A and B are shown apart, each in its own frame.
Chain A
Amino acid sequence: MPERSANGVCLAIEGLTKRFGGFYALNELSMQVATGHIHALIGPNGAGKTTFFNLVTGVLPADKGRIVFEGEVVDDARPSKRTLRGIARTFQNIRLFPHLTVLETVMIGAHCRAFPSVVGALGKAVLQPPFGEAGEERTMREHALELLSFLGLASQQDAKASDLPYGEQRKLEMARALATQPRLLLLDEPAAGMNPHETLELDETIKKIRDRGITVVLVEHDMRLVMEISDRITVLNFGTRIADGVPNEIQSNPAVIEAYLGEDVKL
Chain B
Amino acid sequence: MFEGLLDGYTRSLLIFAGINVIAAYSFYAPFKTGQVSLGQAGFMAVGAYTAAILTQKFGMPFAVALVAGGAVAGVVGVAVGFPALRIKGIYLLLLTLGFAEIVSVIVLSWDYVGGAQGFRKIPFNRYTLDYVIVIILVLLMLFARLERSSLGRAMDSIHQDETAAEAMGIDVVRIKLLAFGLGAVIAGLAGALYAHHATYMDSTTFNVMMGIEILMFVVVGGGSTFLGPLVGAAVLNMIPEILRALRDWLELVPVAWTNFFPMNRVYDFLHDFLDFENAKRLIAYGIILIIMMIVRPDGLVTRDSLRRLAPARWKAKHA
CB of B318 within 8 A of CB of A107, answer no
Chain A 103-142, CB within 8 Å of chain B: the 1/0 string? Answer: 1100111111111001001101110100001101100100
The minimal Cβ–Cβ distance linking B180 to chain A, given in whole angstroms, is 13
Q: Which of A59, A78, A91, A96 contacts B173 (CB 8 A)?
A: A78
Q: Which 3 A-B pairs have the closest CB atoms?
A: A112-B169, A125-B149, A83-B169
CB of B166 within 8 A of CB of A80, answer yes
B156: chain A residues within 8 A (beta carbon): 97, 99-100
CB of A80 within 8 A of CB of B178, answer no
B173: chain A residues within 8 A (beta carbon): 78
Does B164 reach chain A (CB closer than 8 Å)? yes
CB of B149 within 8 A of CB of A80, answer no
20 A-B pairs (CB sep. < 8 Å) = A80-B167, A80-B168, A83-B167, A91-B167, A98-B160, A104-B153, A108-B154, A108-B165, A109-B169, A111-B169, A115-B151, A118-B178, A121-B151, A125-B145, A125-B150, A125-B152, A128-B145, A134-B149, A136-B150, A158-B318
B167: chain A residues within 8 A (beta carbon): 57, 59, 79-80, 83, 88-89, 91, 95
Q: Which of B145, B157, B171, B172 contacts A100 (CB 8 A)?
A: B157
Does B317 reach chain A (CB closer than 8 Å)? yes
Chain B 141-185, CB within 8 Å of chain A: the 1/0 string? Answer: 010011011111110110011011111111111110010000000
Query: Which residues, 105 to 152 on B, are CB-close (under 8 Å) to A?
Result: 142, 145-146, 148-152
Contacts A95-B161, A100-B153 given; does A118 touch B175 at CB 8 Å: yes
Q: Which of A107, A118, A134 contacts B153 (CB 8 A)?
A: A107
A104: chain B residues within 8 A (beta carbon): 153
Which residue of chain B has the shortest Cβ distance to A134 in the bound complex? B149
The distance in angstroms between the C-alpha atoms of A30 and B148, with both chains bound, is 46
CB of B150 within 8 A of CB of A114, answer yes
Does A232 reach chain B (CB closer than 8 Å)? no
Which residue of chain B has the shortest Cβ distance to A115 in the bound complex? B150
Interface size for A (C-beta < 8 A) is: 44
The distance in angstroms between the C-alpha atoms of A177 and B166, with both chains bound, is 12
**Which of A89, A110, A111, A158: most chain B Cβ within 10 A?**
A111
Q: Chain A: residues with CB nearer than 8 A to chain B?
A: 57, 59, 78-80, 83-84, 88-89, 91, 95-100, 103-104, 107-115, 118, 121-122, 124-126, 128, 133-134, 136-137, 140, 158, 176-177, 179-180
Interface size for B (C-beta < 8 A) is: 32
Which residue of chain A has the shortest Cβ distance to B144 in the bound complex? A130
The distance in angstroms between the C-alpha atoms of A109 and B170, with both chains bound, is 8
A59: chain B residues within 8 A (beta carbon): 163, 167
Query: Which residues, 171 to 204 on B, are CB-close (under 8 Å) to A?
Result: 171-175, 178
A57: chain B residues within 8 A (beta carbon): 167
Does B303 reach chain A (CB closer than 8 Å)? yes
The minimal Cβ–Cβ distance linking A19 to chain B, given in whole angstroms, is 22
Q: Which of A112, A115, A126 contacts B142 (CB 8 A)?
A: A126
